Amino acid sequence: MLVEISPERHGVAFDIAYARADNVTGKPIYARPAAWLVPEAEAALVRAAELAGAQGLGLLLFDAFRPLEAQWALWRAVPDPAYVSDPRRGGIHTRGVAVDLTLTGRDGAPLDMGTGFDDLTPASHHGSTAVPPGAQRNRALLLGLMSAAGWDFYMREWWHYQLFRPRRYPALTDGEAGTAMMPAEPHFP
């Protein structure tokens, strides 16, 4: 059901945030840096990478499919439904239909978006004027590329994009998805 995304095959770079300790939980959530998507989202990601490449830009992927166990870990760290989906409702990333990403320049360095990934403040909202004009333009460029590639967006996070009608796909645990992303210790409550 899910397709593993790779930098080589899909034309994107990886910086999988939840495989490192420097994320909102303060510890690695994933056992390894990996990204998985449903085939429809995979095709939209490839299209977005092609559109970015045509402008001399690249995509840097922070997250994609997030097993329900990982969603619980995030919810325990940030139980704020404005920024983290309540895992009892399944979430969007848990369905393999969402990506968190940014644009990179010709040198591979991320473009300035005014805030970092997972900066859970109003400054991270699309359309925020609290960030410099150059960052606003970069966000608008990312939004345009992702929209043209078939993605919907989440108003409070400049980095989050998802398929339209995401709940038509089921929320999955690591075991159900067969992704082997989670450590042996479960993260369920």
- 4-40: per-residue pLDDT in tens? 999 999 999 999 999 999 999 999 999 999 999 999 9
Helix boundaries (H) for the chain: 7-10, 39-53, 68-77, 133-148, 174-177
Residue 102 pairs in a beta bridge with 60
Tokens 């997030």 correspond to 66
pLDDT tens string 68-86 = 999 999 999 999 999 999 9
Looking at residue 110, the DSSP 8-state letter turns out to be B
Residues acting as catalytic residues: 157
pLDDT of residue 133: 98
Average pLDDT over every residue of 160-165: 98
For range 154-161, the mean pLDDT: 98
Q: Using 50, 70 and 90 to split pLDDT, how confident is the model at 90?
A: confident
Among 48, 12, 15, CA closest to 143: 48
| Domains parsed from the chain with CATH numbers | 3-177 (3.30.1380.10)
pLDDT over 60 at 169, yes or no: yes
Q: Using CA atoms, how far apart are residues 113 and 51, in angstroms rounded to an integer?
A: 19
What's the pLDDT score for residue 186?
Answer: 55
pLDDT tens, 91-129?
999 999 999 999 999 999 999 999 999 999 999 999 999
